């Protein structure tokens, strides 16, 4: 584009404002993970309080519905707030998403009444609203971080924001363990056939505490300036963009002020027009499809946790409700510490070294191998004396999910699209993922039942998850472009270069790292030559 303020952003050294942006944006993802993952031990407490007539077990349909309603809210929020982020501005709606998360977390904790039906309806309603806020946080956090970052370490910064999810999972487990320990000690636990009244307070308190990190971040979010890229490229106010960046960049205003501040014209085609689909349709397809596939597998794995946990938990007769929830939270924390958090931070370290595409392919591939390793000998080994081997392989699938597509699918939509459509496309990609999550949460719950219960069995279900991971490898290899080391604005000219990518994919004439170093002129030259060659060729390239 040639604007000084954008060049300054692309080449800026890592500064204090980068880390502030990571923390401010990351707290939203931290809260997201806390609220979404705390529901597993919370449902154990709810079951003990409100399902005494069902042997304290919440029906599987109720559990999946409680998860699905939050995911449906998340998908809705991603689309709605993604569109608003492009039309109204990133910063203007950023605080709204966080406020919605705070208020709905409080609503989940209070959940109005104390009868089973009323509590579940109320909890479901507030979890839907919570999902709206969580969904809004995804495209806004990713877009804001990508537009603040420099091109050399942009991937690491966005991955660091996303890695806060791991700490959110760990925090939800830690809070659950602390609350349950306090209530257990204070209750002088009654006989096993009676549920203490404090259990109804304990699960509410766990959910209420989820509002604290979001509330603590609200002020700083409202103090953030609008991103320079949005101000300069969408609002077309280059002078204001320079003033905003002068406040956070270690650079003088004179160095980033244009001699004649005329902003470049925005794309002259609307969203989802034929021109948009020609230029960016493949990118949107690749981002949405990869996110869909990884969430089918990722959220199915979360449901599978309950089957893992039962192998390591004490017999029912020796448990009380607080220790039951404590043990589930403890195992969730172990998985987070041993696989989830390391996976995130290995991604932070390697994302700008290996590139997004390689990491996504590798992650999908090893996830597939892991599921096949669990599934193929499932009936012969994993139900007997090999539960620790089962747990190790299970943790590795989480590790390669986070050191792989779970992280890269969050990063790529924030880099591949023009500023005018960036937040919207990220929201659509994320919503496709959450549709996959609903399919994974509900479909896997049904499919994993034995054939006698109209299911296909656990072994077949795990093989399907492995197959979905391999489909993710193919989608990434065939359709996903590398963005490492490239300015965000370079992607706005990708329509001139699209054909070269398909030639690279099928003929292996180039590599992602080499293509990322090509100048615009070289791309135009390559595009012209590839077009001439395809015209002369008697066999079209499919």
Residue 308 lies in a domain: yes
CA angle 481, 486, 487 (to 5 degrees): 120
Rounded Cα–Cα distance for residues 5 and 8 (Å): 5
What one-character DSSP code corresponds to residue 451?
G
Residue 452 lies in a domain: yes
Residue 240 lies in a domain: yes
Residue 353 lies in a domain: yes
Q: Are 238 and 261 in contact (CB under 8 A)?
A: yes
pLDDT of amino acid 304: 61
Residue with tokens 């203490």: 196
Give me the CATH number covering residue 86.
Answer: 1.20.1250.20
Q: Among candidates 288, 279, 283, which has minimal Cα distance to 405?
A: 288
Residue 351: φ, ψ to 5°: -60, -35
Residue 277 lies in a domain: yes
* Domain region containing 74: 4-256+272-495
Residues across the chain:
542
User: What is the reported pTM?
Assistant: 0.86
pLDDT along the chain (542 residues), means of 10: 78 84 90 87 89 79 84 96 95 91 92 85 94 94 92 94 94 95 83 76 94 89 89 88 81 68 71 88 95 91 62 60 88 88 95 96 96 82 65 86 96 94 96 92 68 66 91 96 89 52 44 46 47 38 32
**Number of folded domains in the chain?**
1
CA 489 to chain centre: 24
Most distant CA atoms of the chain, gap in Å: 85
DSSP-derived 3-state class of residue 12: coil
Rounded Cα–Cα distance for residues 476 and 501 (Å): 13
Dihedral class, residue 281 (left if φ above 0, else alpha if ψ from -120 to 50, else beta): alpha
Cβ partners under 8 Å of residue 269, min gap 6:
275, 276
pLDDT of amino acid 517: 46
Residue 156 lies in a domain: yes
What one-character DSSP code corresponds to residue 378?
I
Residue 507 lies in a domain: no
Rounded Cα–Cα distance for residues 503 and 519 (Å): 18
Q: Are 9 and 249 in contact (CB under 8 A)?
A: yes
What one-character DSSP code corresponds to residue 262?
-
What one-character DSSP code corresponds to residue 413?
G
pLDDT of amino acid 387: 67
Residue 519 lies in a domain: no
* Per-residue buried b or exposed e for 95-133, using 16+ beta carbons within 10 Å of the residue's own CB: bbbbbbbbbbbbbbbebeeeebeebbebbbbbbbbbbbb
DSSP-derived 3-state class of residue 265: coil
pLDDT of amino acid 295: 94
């Amino acid at each position: 584009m040639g604007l000084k303020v954008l060049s300054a952003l692309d080449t800026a050294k890592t500064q204090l404002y980068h880390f502030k942006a990571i923390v401010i944006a990351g707290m939203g993802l931290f809260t997201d993970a806390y609220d979404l993952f705390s529901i597993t031990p919370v449902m154990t407490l709810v079951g003990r309080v409100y399902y005494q007539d069902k042997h304290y077990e919440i029906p599987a349909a109720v559990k999946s519905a409680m998860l699905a309603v939050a995911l449906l809210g998340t998908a809705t929020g991603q689309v709605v707030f993604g569109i608003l982020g492009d039309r109204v501005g990133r910063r203007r709606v950023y605080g709204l998403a966080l406020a919605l998360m705070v208020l709905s977390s409080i609503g989940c904790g209070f959940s109005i009444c104390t009868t089973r039906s009323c509590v579940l309806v109320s909890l479901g309603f507030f979890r839907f609203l919570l999902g709206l806020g969580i969904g809004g946080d995804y495209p806004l956090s990713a877009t804001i971080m990508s537009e603040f970052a420099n091109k050399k370490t942009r991937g690491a910064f966005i991955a660091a924001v996303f890695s806060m999810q791991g700490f959110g999972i760990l925090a939800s487990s830690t809070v659950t363990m602390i609350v349950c320990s306090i209530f257990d000690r204070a209750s002088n636990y009654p006989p096993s056939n009676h549920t203490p009244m404090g259990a109804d307070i304990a699960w509410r308190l766990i959910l209420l505490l989820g509002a604290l990190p979001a509330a603590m971040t609200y002020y700083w979010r409202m103090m953030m300036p609008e991103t320079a890229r949005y101000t300069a490229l969408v609002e077309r106010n280059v002078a204001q963009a320079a003033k905003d960046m002068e406040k956070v960049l270690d650079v003088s205003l004179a160095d980033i002020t244009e001699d004649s501040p005329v902003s470049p014209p925005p794309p002259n085609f609307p969203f989802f027009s034929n021109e948009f689909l020609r230029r960016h349709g493949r990118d949107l397809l690749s981002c949405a499809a990869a996110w869909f596939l990884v969430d089918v597998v990722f959220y199915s794995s979360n449901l599978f946790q309950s089957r893992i946990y039962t192998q390591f938990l004490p017999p029912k007769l020796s448990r009380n409700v607080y220790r039951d929830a404590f043990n589930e939270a403890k195992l969730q924390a172990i998985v987070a510490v041993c696989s989830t958090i390391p996976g995130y931070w290995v991604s932070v370290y390697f994302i700008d070294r290996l590139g997004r595409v390689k990491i996504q392919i590798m992650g999908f591939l090893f996830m597939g191998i892991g599921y096949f390793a669990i599934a193929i000998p499932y009936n012969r080994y994993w139900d007997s004396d090999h539960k620790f081997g089962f747990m190790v392989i299970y943790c590795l699938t989480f590790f390669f999910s986070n050191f792989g597509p779970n992280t890269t699918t969050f990063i790529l939509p924030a880099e591949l699209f023009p500023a005018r459509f960036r937040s919207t496309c990220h929201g659509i990609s994320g919503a496709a993922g959450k549709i996959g999550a609903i399919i994974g949460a509900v479909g896997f719950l049904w499919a994993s039942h034995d054939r006698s219960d109209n299911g296909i069995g656990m072994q077949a279900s795990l093989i399907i998850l492995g197959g979905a991971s391999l489909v993710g490898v193919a989608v990434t290899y065939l359709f996903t472009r590398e963005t490492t080391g490239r300015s965000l604005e370079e992607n706005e000219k990708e329509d001139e270069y699209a054909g070269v990518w398909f030639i690279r994919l099928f003929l292996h004439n180039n590599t992602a790292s080499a293509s990322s170093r090509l100048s615009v002129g070289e791309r135009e030259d390559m595009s012209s030559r590839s077009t001439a060659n395809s015209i002369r060729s008697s066999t079209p390239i499919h």
